[in-house]
Structure 1
Amino acid sequence: MDQGRRPNAVVANDNSKIYMDLKSIIREHTLPFLPAKSLFRFKGVCRDWKLQISTPFFAHNQSNSFHNVSGFFCQSCSNPPSFISLDPNSYGVPDPSLQFLPEPVDIRSSSNGLLCCQGHTGDNAYYICNPATKQWKKLPKPNADHGSNPAIVLIFEPSLLNFVAEYKLICAFSSADFDNALEFEIYSSAENCWRISGEIYFGATKIKPNSGVHVNGIIYWLSKTGGIVVFDLTMERSQRLYGHKNGFYSHNQGCLGVMNEKLASVISSYNQTLTVSVLSNSYTNTMAMNSKVKAWDTKLNVNVSESSEYQGPVLYACGEVIVIQSERGLYSYDMKTREFRRLTTEADHDIRVVGYVNSLVEI
């Protein structure tokens, strides 16, 4: 009888080991790849998970592991911020209108879980916040006048080597000393101060606010007169780059985005096509005249002529997701599944859309 029981005891011990190993695998190697909303809910699973998810090291690890676009913050001049989740069960924030900040704000930029917002009162201060955790920081006042609707870009790239989140802000503003010129001011969280770059762009152009994107150390803004203003953050040099269809930006149908770590230009032409092109050669400005080297490669053409439901200006493009504003509301287009999806049934004509990653990054 005793001999008959021993194998069962061994099997039970093996199953126990497998169960313990699986718990450790999920806790150590799966949880960091989940979005913030899901993780807050999973704190109720057990005491071990709650302690694990609540540690600063876990937040640091999750911010380095989770980078999926989780939804969009939307805002117009007449309404406070709101949030559209791509998956309400998994992605979300506790206070979509950002009322945890000390004053009403406009969302200016977003990067890997952090938002850059600007206050409505006083000196229109900038705030950096994480809407998932409600952490925020007020930044010192800039040296220059950035205007009422600044062309500012937030850059936050999580790194395993930097336990403290380090980020930068870059703002292109009209020069007060030179006519038809742009200057650039840079904020560094590591130094907690602003400084004006020595670079001045004499391109006689105005920047389109809320159009800036960052790709591999280079910031790109749409120009209101056509083309793209480029600022190399490492070299602190600027230039002008022309799109593959010069002048389309003036019709407010296109936007800049980032796809596969390349600058993307996305155009929605009424009654025609949704076109996605990526920058393949940024040095065509220096090529000889009549050179056949192309600056842009077309990656996608989607025929939308059969349905007015998907026709309108492109408001956002990043990764595999594109957001279009039509007369019937906001729609997203998934480049992977080639499917359209309705996000809202109504949208203000001046609505702005900012992509958001549901991260636990600590400020």
Structure 2
Amino acid sequence: MSSRDGVFPDDVIVQVLARLPVKSVFIAKSVCKLWYRLLSDKYFVQLFNEISAKNPMVLVEISHPLESKSRLLCVDYMRGVNELTLEFINDRVKVRASCNGLLCCSSIPDKGVYFVCNPMTREYRLLPRSRERSVTRFYPDGEPTLVGLAGNLFTQKFTVVLAGYHRTFGHRPDGTFICLVFDSDLNRWRKFVSFQDDQFSHMNRNQVVFVNDTLHWLTRTCSCILALDLDCDLWRKISLPDEVRYGSGNRVNLLELDGCLSVIQISDAWMKIWVMKEYQREEWHMVDRVSLRCIKGMVPGVFPISQNGQYVLFATHKQVLVYHWKSRLWKEMYSVKNTSTLPLWFSAHTFRSTIFSCN
């Protein structure tokens, strides 16, 4: 990149501006023609997203019994707590999945209506309705058991997955597992049917991880990870570490760590963090073992939500905590001041601030 007398070289400007929040980047575009050109370039967008991907956050929906709308908070280890809004969608929605800065939201008053949005850029896209009738599509209540969102930052393409047990009207579910996949490039749904006998708890459904063009969910019994390969519409099972699979009295959560699958195993006294270093060979390595003595009273209600190589962010009933790997210190990032109807971990998602267009 070029340099000019009395000003910084273009590459220095780009490196500095790529570390700003998304809102500040859009403001910076109006400073001058040079900055507008630099910040509109694909190189800048890719650089910004690469840097943002290293700073995972926690997004929580906080509801109040006296308020009709819930609040959406973004807890950022680097920048603190910020309130976001989804009012630009012009519908009452619930966040169902999050991936690389995009959110998949379902309409609360209108079942079967889904949106994908970027709350930082305030863009959204209404997904076309599937031809499947909701009352015969999923069991129970016509709602999908699993909702997954896969967002590729390089291609700027996203995929939405709705999966659940099928039932014909007036009958019990027949054991078949219907999967609907929305392709943002083709702007249409495709459908395939398989058989799954695995069950999912709320946290297992909430914590879906997108790695290697595959969406991953942890089964309720922690017997395995259920993975959907989006390139070939194929479900497969991935083994967990033996210590995790056969451990008793432990709570297990599925996360991502620097582009790899990771599981965090929590017992009364210890937290163990595992990473799958070799995806094809399914080789797991334990990368940390942390004493939980200093948060002993909180352990039953602590759920890991997101992490990177420096810290892990957790949601409890009323708090968001951070554990810093190097210093081995715990810190409270946020605490609910009023009465929330649900624990924070019930509606917590990992989040990143990206320049990702959903249109």
| TM-score grouping bracket, smaller chain normalisation | 0.7 to 0.9
Deviation of the 1:361 alpha carbon: 2.3
Check 1:181–1:309 CA distance in 2 against 1; reply closer, same or farther (3 A cut). Answer: same
Q: Which amino acid aligns with 2:228?
A: F
Q: State how far apart, in whole Å, the 2-side matches of 1:326 and 1:314 are.
A: 6
Q: State how far apart, in whole Å, the 2-side matches of 1:97 and 1:250 are.
A: 39
Tell me what 1:263 maps to.
261
Tell me what 1:169 maps to.
160
SS of match in other structure, 2:232: coil
Q: Which amino acid aligns with 1:35?
A: P
Q: State how far apart, in whole Å, the 1-side matches of 2:220 and 2:248 are.
A: 7
Q: Indicate if the aligned counterparts of 1:304 and 1:310 stay in contact, CA closer than 8 A.
A: no
Superposition map of 1:100-119 within 5 A: 100-119=88-107
Q: State how far apart, in whole Å, the 1-side matches of 2:44 and 2:127 are.
A: 23
User: Greater shift after overlay, 332-341 or 105-114?
Assistant: 332-341
Tell me what 1:3 maps to.
none
Deviation of the 1:48 alpha carbon: 3.9
Residue 18 of structure 2 is aligned with which of 29, 32, 40? 32
Query: Which ranges of structure 2 fall in alignment gaps of 5 or more residues?
Result: 65-69
Is residue 71 of structure 1 aligned with residue 36 of structure 2? no
Tell me what 1:290 maps to.
none
Residues 206-248 of structure 1, C-alpha deviations (whole Å, 9 max, x = no match): 4632122111022211212332222222232223334332377
Q: State how far apart, in whole Å, the 2-side matches of 1:257 and 1:153 are.
A: 14
Tell me what 1:185 maps to.
180
Superposition map of 1:288-327 within 5 A: 295-308=283-296, 311=299, 312-320=301-309, 321-326=311-316
Check 1:359–1:259 CA distance in 2 against 1; reply closer, same or farther (3 A cut). Answer: same
Residues 260-311 of structure 1, C-alpha deviations (whole Å, 9 max, x = no match): 32210112223x0111112356678xxxxxxxxx853211110012433662
Deviation of the 1:63 alpha carbon: 5.1
Tell me what 2:324 maps to.
334
Q: State how far apart, in whole Å, the 2-side matches of 1:362 and 1:237 are.
A: 27
Tell me what 1:291 maps to.
none
Q: Which amino acid aligns with 1:239?
A: R
Q: State how far apart, in whole Å, the 2-side matches of 1:263 and 1:54 are.
A: 32
Q: State how far apart, in whole Å, the 2-side matches of 1:357 and 1:218 are.
A: 19
Query: Which ranges of structure 1 fall in alignment gaps of 5 or more residues?
Result: 1-15, 285-293
Q: Indicate if the aligned counterparts of 1:219 and 1:230 stay in contact, CA closer than 8 A.
A: yes
Q: Indicate if the aligned counterparts of 1:309 and 1:326 stay in contact, CA closer than 8 A.
A: no
SS of match in other structure, 2:185: coil
Residue 214 of structure 2 is aligned with which of 210, 213, 218? 218
Q: Which amino acid aligns with 2:118?
A: N
Q: Indicate if the aligned counterparts of 2:144 and 2:164 stay in contact, CA closer than 8 A.
A: no
Q: State how far apart, in whole Å, the 2-side matches of 1:247 and 1:149 are.
A: 29
Check 1:248–1:40 CA distance in 2 against 1; reply closer, same or farther (3 A cut). Answer: farther
Superposition map of 1:238-277 within 5 A: 238-244=235-241, 245-246=244-245, 253-270=251-268, 272-277=269-274
RMSD of aligned residue pairs (Cα, Å): 3.3
User: Greater shift after overlay, 61-70 or 340-349?
Assistant: 61-70
Q: Indicate if the aligned counterparts of 1:81 and 1:97 stay in contact, CA closer than 8 A.
A: yes
Deviation of the 1:181 alpha carbon: 3.8
Q: Indicate if the aligned counterparts of 1:315 and 1:352 stay in contact, CA closer than 8 A.
A: no
Q: Indicate if the aligned counterparts of 2:316 and 2:343 stay in contact, CA closer than 8 A.
A: no
Residues 159-178 of structure 1, C-alpha deviations (whole Å, 9 max, x = no match): 2xx4xx31111233113376
Q: Indicate if the aligned counterparts of 1:267 and 1:314 stay in contact, CA closer than 8 A.
A: no
Q: State how far apart, in whole Å, the 1-side matches of 2:186 and 2:158 are.
A: 10
* Structure ID, larger Rg: 1
Identity %: 17
Q: Which amino acid aligns with 2:88?
A: F
Structure 2 length-normalised TM: 0.77
Q: Indicate if the aligned counterparts of 1:263 and 1:278 stay in contact, CA closer than 8 A.
A: yes
Deviation of the 1:101 alpha carbon: 1.4
Check 1:250–1:106 CA distance in 2 against 1; reply closer, same or farther (3 A cut). Answer: farther
Check 1:173–1:77 CA distance in 2 against 1; reply closer, same or farther (3 A cut). Answer: farther
Check 1:158–1:306 CA distance in 2 against 1; reply closer, same or farther (3 A cut). Answer: closer
Q: Indicate if the aligned counterparts of 1:229 and 1:239 stay in contact, CA closer than 8 A.
A: yes
Tell me what 1:19 maps to.
6
User: Greater shift after overlay, 147-156 or 185-194?
Assistant: 147-156
Tell me what 2:124 maps to.
136
Q: Indicate if the aligned counterparts of 2:313 and 2:320 stay in contact, CA closer than 8 A.
A: yes
